[in-house]
Amino acid sequence: QKEVEQNSGPLSVPEGAIASLNCTYSDRGSQSFFWYRQYSGKSPELIMFIYSNGDKEDGRFTAQLNKASQYVSLLIRDSQPSDSATYLCAVNINNKLIFGTGTRLQVFP
């Protein structure tokens, strides 16, 4: 079992829809969780981090964490074509970020 798992996609959604990206992790002791966005040929950029169970909202983005289920998700409301990218889930395991393989999101007009 990989430490951080994501569906590789692609996830295709129409412009204006809600995109839902999911991630599971194996280490129950993990305390901090991150979502990065990576455009093709570019480096990852941090979108959000979350530490506590529940929801955390930042503009069109909402991160959700459920430690009991070892599950973290990212919702993108009012999706735009410019949101088309790979979204990487990362989990702090033993003082370093471990990344999933990423989910490719395609937002079509």
Binding residues vs another protein (CB under 8 A): 4, 6, 8, 31-32, 34, 36, 42-46, 49, 51, 88, 92, 94-102
Tell me the backbone φ, ψ of residue 83, rounded to 5 degrees: -80, -10
Q: How far is the CB of 28 from another protein (least distance, A)?
A: 17
At a CB cut-off of 8 Å and minimum separation 6, what does 109 contact? 14, 15, 81
Least separation in angstroms between residue 58's CB and another protein is: 13
Residue number, 4 or 85, with CB nearest to another protein:
4
Q: Rounded to the nearest whole angstrom, what is the least distance from the CB of residue 11 to another protein in the complex?
A: 15
Q: Which is nearer to another protein, 6 or 79 (CB)?
A: 6
Give the DSSP per-residue string, 38-107: E-TTS--EEEEEE-SSEEEEETTEEEEEETTTTEEEEEESS--GGG-EEEEEEEEETTEEEE---EEEEE
Residue 15 or 42: the one with the smaller Cβ distance to another protein is 42
Residue appearing with tokens 């979204």? 87
- Supply the minimum distance, in Å, between the C-beta of residue 53 and another protein: 15
